[in-house]
Amino acid sequence: MEPVEALERIAFLLERQGAVTYRVQAFRTASTVISRISPAELRRRAQSGSLTRIKGLGPKTSQVIAEALSGQVPTYLSRLEEEAGGPLVDGDQGQRLRRALRGDCHLHSDWSDGGSPVEAMAGAARDLGHEWCVLTDHSPRLTIAHGLTADRLREQLALVAEVNERLAPFRLLTGIECDILDDGALDQEPELLERLDVVVASVHSKLRMDAAPMTRRLLAAVTNPLVDILGHCTNRQITGKPRPESRFDAGAVFAACAEHRTAIEINCRPDRFDPPRRLLRQAVDTGALFSIDTDAHAPGQLDWQIYGCARAEECGVPPDRIINTWTSHQLTTWTTTGKRPTPKKGNVRAT
- Interacting residues with Zn ion (CB under 5 A): 177, 202, 295
Q: Give the strand order in the sheet containing 103-104.
A: 103-104, 132-135, 171-179, 198-202, 229-230, 263-267, 290-293
Looking at 223-344, list the stretches that DSSP marks H as alpha helix, in order from N- to C-terminal side.
250-259, 277-285, 305-314, 328-337
User: What angle (nearest 5°) sits at the alpha carbon of residue 207, between those of residues 213 and 321?
Assistant: 85
Q: C-beta of 297: minimal distance to Zn ion in Å?
A: 7
Nearest to Zn ion of 42, 201 (CB atom): 201
C-alpha to C-alpha distance for 157 and 177, rounded to whole angstroms: 14
* Cβ nearer to Zn ion, comparing 8 with 177: 177
Residue closer to Zn ion by CB (options 177, 228) is 177
Distance from C-alpha of 137 to C-alpha of 160, rounded to nearest angstrom: 12
For the bound state, the minimum distance from the C-beta of residue 204 to Zn ion, rounded and expressed in Å, comes to 6
CB of 103 to Zn ion, least distance (A): 16
Contacts (Cβ under 8 Å, ≥6 apart) of 263: 228, 229, 230, 257, 288, 289, 290, 291, 323
Q: How far is the CB of 177 from Zn ion (least distance, A)?
A: 5
Q: In angstroms, give the least distance from the CB of 351 to Zn ion.
A: 28
Torsion angle of C-alpha atoms 192, 195, 198, 200, degrees rounded to 10 = 10
Between residues 67 and 293, which has the closer beta carbon with respect to Zn ion? 293
Task: Please identify, using beta-carbon distances, which residue of 177 and 197 lies nearer to Zn ion.
Answer: 177
Considering the complex, what minimum distance in angstroms separates the CB of residue 83 from Zn ion? 28
Cα distances (Å, whole numbers) of residue 348 to 28, 214, 278, 323 = 36, 36, 26, 10
Nearer to Zn ion, 67 or 187 (CB): 187
> What is d(CA 307, CA 85) in angstroms, rounded to the nearest whole number?
15
CA 116 to chain centre: 12
Q: Which is nearer to Zn ion, 6 or 178 (CB)?
A: 178
Least distance from C-beta 65 to Zn ion, angstroms?
33
